[in-house]
């Protein structure tokens, strides 16, 4: 695999929480020749450095830049990233920003422009796009499996108490507005893949709220209707329900067309089809890769984009678009009206 990373000798990982450690472990397994530098503002556990095989550990971006990284994975809280990413881009360091790319749209277009001017790859870490079942689901929709799309329903849920069982949920990024928490940002994979599969969103109508007794200062529930303008001058209507309090996790998308219904279960990796003529459900695809698979594919795509000077699968513009949709969702809920994008 060294041929896809021959222009990257040192990778900086910013933020060494669970996702930062996962990236470090995968890079070390795939590309043992790459030197991994970690930037963490908390007291560093030397056992982490040993177990992850880190080349060096620093506590500031200034110290990190002295070590001349070629690329960086930015996995600290999304509300704290913008200035760090600008420093990286100015120094010509390629960037993979964990999702969401930031907590707000402020400054992101400037960052995208800066990366373009500096020849820096800017990738957003929506790793679900590398999931085989979601790729196949999109392919079947776009090749007309359900025919004309009439509507779709998306659901995603995960109880905060069970999400990170060894950590006090009140101290996590998900629970805190100042760190970029809330169900819309933390579960924004769904908004990204809705854009990816169904095209440009025309309008949103939403209700965003805190429904549970969780001790958080962010929304734990969002109910959203999307409108899409299609080439044939009709509107496809989509619905997304997301929450932080449901005890049984879910991640699924059902697309209803004039030829039948296609159902994707993101947890099982199954796609089922209910045909207009067959009138029964049939499994048409099944894939259950390891949890590391999508992150491995994401890192490989990032390094390939750097080496070939090409756009990654999920760009900075994709990350910005998701934030713009989230802004519209909040605005719709606050103003109790449809917001056009």
Placement of tokens 């998306």 in the chain = 154
Distance CA 309, CA 217 (A): 41
pLDDT band at 5 (very low <50, low <70, confident <90, very high): low
Whole-number pLDDT of residue 44:
61
Placement of tokens 């594919």 in the chain = 297
pLDDT band at 10 (very low <50, low <70, confident <90, very high): very high
211: left (phi over 0), alpha (psi -120 to 50) or beta: alpha
- Average pLDDT of the chain to the nearest whole number: 94
Distance CA 133, CA 295 (A): 15
Please state the pTM of the whole predicted model: 0.95
Taking residues 43-62, report their average pLDDT: 80
Whole-number pLDDT of residue 50:
72
Query: Buried (b) or exposed (e) across 47-69, using 16+ Cβ within 10 A?
Result: ebbeebebbbbbeebeebbeeeb
| 108-112: long-range contacts, CB 8 A cutoff, minimum separation 24 | 108/82, 108/316, 108/319, 108/320, 108/323, 109/320, 110/86, 111/82, 111/85, 111/86, 111/316, 112/316, 112/317, 112/320
pLDDT 10s digits, 86-104? 999 999 999 999 999 999 9
Taking residues 209-223, report their average pLDDT: 96
Whole-number pLDDT of residue 164:
79
Question: CB neighbours (10 Å) of residue 151?
Answer: 14
| Closest by Cα among 258, 306, 281, 240 to 70 | 306
pLDDT 10s digits, 136-178? 999 999 999 999 999 999 999 999 998 877 889 999 999 999 9
pLDDT 10s digits, 227-273? 998 767 788 999 999 999 999 999 999 999 999 999 999 999 999 99
Secondary structure of residue 34 in the 3-state scheme: coil
pLDDT band at 4 (very low <50, low <70, confident <90, very high): low
Q: How far is CA 103 from CA 79, 120, 141, 319, in A?
A: 5, 21, 31, 11
């Amino acid at each position: 695999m060294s041929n896809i990373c021959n222009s990257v000798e040192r990778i900086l990982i910013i933020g060494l929480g669970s996702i930062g450690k996962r990236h470090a472990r995968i890079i070390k397994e795939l590309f043992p020749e790459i030197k991994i530098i970690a930037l963490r503002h908390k007291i560093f556990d030397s056992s982490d450095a040993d177990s992850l095989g880190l080349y060096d550990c620093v506590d500031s971006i200034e110290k990190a830049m002295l070590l001349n990284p070629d690329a960086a994975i930015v996995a600290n809280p999304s509300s704290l990233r913008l200035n760090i990413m600008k420093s990286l881009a100015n120094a010509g360091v390629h960037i993979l920003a964990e999702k969401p790319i930031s907590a707000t749209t402020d400054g992101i277009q400037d960052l995208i422009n800066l990366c373009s001017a500096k020849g820096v790859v800017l990738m957003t870490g929506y790793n679900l796009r590398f999931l085989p079942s979601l790729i196949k689901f999109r392919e079947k929709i776009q090749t007309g499996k359900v025919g004309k799309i009439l509507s779709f329903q998306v659901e995603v849920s995960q109880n905060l108490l069970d999400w990170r069982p060894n950590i006090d949920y009140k101290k996590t990024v998900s629970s805190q507005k100042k760190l970029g928490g809330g169900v819309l940002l933390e579960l924004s994979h769904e908004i990204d893949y809705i854009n990816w599969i169904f095209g440009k969103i025309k309008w949103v109508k939403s209700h965003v709220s805190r429904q549970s007794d969780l001790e958080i200062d962010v929304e734990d529930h969002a109910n959203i209707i999307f409108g899409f303008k299609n080439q044939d001058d009709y509107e496809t209507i989509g619905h997304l329900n997301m929450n932080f309090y449901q005890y049984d996790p879910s991640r699924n998308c059902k697309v209803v067309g004039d030829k039948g219904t296609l159902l994707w279960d993101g947890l099982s990796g199954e796609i089922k089809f209910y045909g207009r003529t067959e009138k029964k459900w049939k499994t048409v695809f099944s894939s259950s890769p390891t949890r590391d698979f999508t992150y491995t594919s994401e890192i490989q795509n990032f390094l390939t984009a750097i080496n070939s000077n090409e756009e990654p699968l999920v760009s900075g513009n994709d990350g910005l678009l998701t934030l713009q949709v989230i802004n519209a969702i909040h605005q719709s809920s606050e103003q109790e009206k449809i917001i056009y994008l």
